[in-house]
């Protein structure tokens, strides 16, 4: 495979092989998800995914041939375009959540474009810094860059995609050397927001934050800001809860106890567990899963494609997929660590964070360890916009690997 390294923009052939293999497996599982007794939206959806794969392949080729310095120049323009699309989708968006823009024969999810635009913009801002991060005030700009698309996506509302923007921020700050204590203090209000439902739990969390402030001893203004932000976040918990769509509230309640609504919101999780558990060691056979074929398993081609893998391919099949994901993440992380270009390595690590977050959240929600947030399984779930983002990101990573 040494000759592949001489192809312009192709710096890591094993990564290319992994992504194509996993995309092919994903299309096969999407085909299987459509093999049901009663025709549904999943029937024949693998053809659309194949078409998106061709579009994504073009994006991969284009991005792999763009020099990093050109991408650095392009970052503000792509970021601005993505924000414009996020604003536009609030007015003319289609789909269950109004998260898509109709583009002739297909639909584009602007949140996926915004993820790449935000990553490039953060990498441009944070890479090449020589001065040490001393205070939280130095993080205002990167937080603002992420906060704008985060808020616009949350307004759709798309809680799952909004969470990914937080992951992108944490990944970028960690990679450029922001001390972990500062990252902890920066994101502490988010935990106060989550824990504000129980004032005892929130009080314990607040004491932990106060202890970190006492030991770390940041500037007084920063300490006061962190304390006030945690107070405000805790006080806003109930208001945020009331602002969530009813289906989002149901998903969080069902996460705590699926039996609360076994015929409604709890149905997804219960059937997902049954499907995965019924797979055993070797599975029910490709395209032969009874839970899927009888339409007991909802969203089997998107959010719960992993449940189809577990039911039809069993533990060994699940293990095989997890090994492939581990290899994919390892190759990306290795490229990030080996790159001498700060801009390129930051982009690569942020994409690593996006992939890892999607993987953990999707697997966690299918087995009941995390709430259902609607995040697809990378390269396996149906989703043209997400596949386009991944291949554009993979193209950029290949460019990073090919440049000295």
At residue 296 the predicted structure's pLDDT band, cuts being 50, 70 and 90, is low
Q: Does residue 254 carry a pLDDT above 60?
A: no
| Predicted TM-score of the model (pTM) | 0.90
CA distances from residue 140 to 86, 125, 203 in whole angstroms, order as listed: 22, 12, 27
Neighbours of 349 (CB within 10 A): 23
Does the pLDDT value for residue 393 go beyond 90? yes
CA-atom Rg of the chain in angstroms: 22
pLDDT at residue 131, rounded to an integer:
67
pLDDT (tens digit, 9 = 90+) per residue, 13-38?
A: 999 999 999 999 999 999 988 887 76
Cis peptide before 227 (omega within 30 of 0): no
End-to-end CA distance of the chain: 19
CA 178 to chain centroid: 22
For 199-235, write each residue's pLDDT tens digit: 777 788 888 888 888 887 777 777 888 888 888 887 7
Average pLDDT over residues 330-356: 94
CB under 8 A, 24+ apart: contacts of 126-129: 126/172, 126/173, 126/176, 126/346, 127/176, 127/341, 127/342, 127/343, 127/345, 127/346, 128/342, 128/343, 129/176
Give 3's pLDDT tier (boundaries 50, 70, 90).
very low
């Amino acid at each position: 495979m040494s000759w592949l390294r001489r192809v312009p923009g192709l710096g890591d052939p094993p990564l290319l092989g992994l992504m194509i293999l996993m995309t092919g497996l994903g299309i096969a599982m999407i085909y299987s998800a459509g093999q049901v007794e009663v025709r549904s939206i999943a029937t024949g959806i693998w053809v659309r995914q194949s078409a998106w794969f061709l579009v994504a392949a073009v994006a991969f080729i284009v991005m792999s041939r763009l020099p990093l310095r050109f991408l650095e120049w392009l970052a503000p323009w792509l970021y601005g375009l993505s924000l414009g699309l996020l604003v536009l989708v609030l007015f003319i968006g289609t789909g269950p959540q109004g998260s898509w823009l109709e583009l002739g024969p297909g639909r584009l999810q602007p949140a996926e474009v915004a993820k790449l635009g935000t990553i490039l913009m953060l990498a441009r801002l944070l890479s090449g810094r020589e001065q040490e991060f001393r205070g939280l005030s130095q993080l205002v700009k990167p937080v603002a860059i992420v906060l704008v698309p985060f808020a616009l996506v949350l307004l759709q509302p798309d809680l799952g995609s909004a969470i990914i923007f937080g992951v992108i921020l944490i990944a970028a700050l960690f990679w450029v050397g922001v001390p972990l204590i500062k990252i902890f203090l920066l994101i502490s209000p988010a935990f106060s927001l989550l824990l504000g439902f129980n004032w005892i739990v929130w009080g314990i969390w607040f004491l932990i934050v106060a202890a970190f402030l006492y030991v770390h001893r940041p500037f007084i203004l920063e300490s006061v800001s962190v304390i006030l932000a945690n107070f405000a976040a805790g006080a806003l918990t109930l208001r945020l809860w009331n602002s969530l769509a009813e289906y989002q509230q149901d998903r969080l309640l069902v996460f705590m106890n699926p039996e609360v609504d076994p015929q409604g919101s709890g149905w997804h999780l219960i059937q997902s567990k049954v499907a995965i558990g019924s797979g055993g060691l070797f599975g029910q056979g490709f395209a032969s899963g009874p839970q899927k074929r009888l339409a007991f398993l909802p969203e089997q081609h998107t959010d719960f494609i992993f449940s189809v893998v577990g039911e039809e391919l069993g533990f060994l099949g699940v293990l095989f997929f997890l090994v492939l994901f581990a290899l994919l993440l390892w190759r990306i992380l290795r490229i990030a660590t080996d790159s001498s270009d700060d801009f390129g390595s930051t982009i690569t690590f942020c994409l690593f964070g996006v992939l890892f977050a999607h993987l953990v959240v999707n697997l966690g929600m299918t087995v009941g360890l995390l709430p259902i947030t609607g995040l697809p399984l990378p390269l396996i779930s149906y989703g043209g916009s997400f596949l386009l983002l991944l291949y554009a990101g993979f193209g950029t990573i290949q460019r990073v690997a090919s440049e000295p």
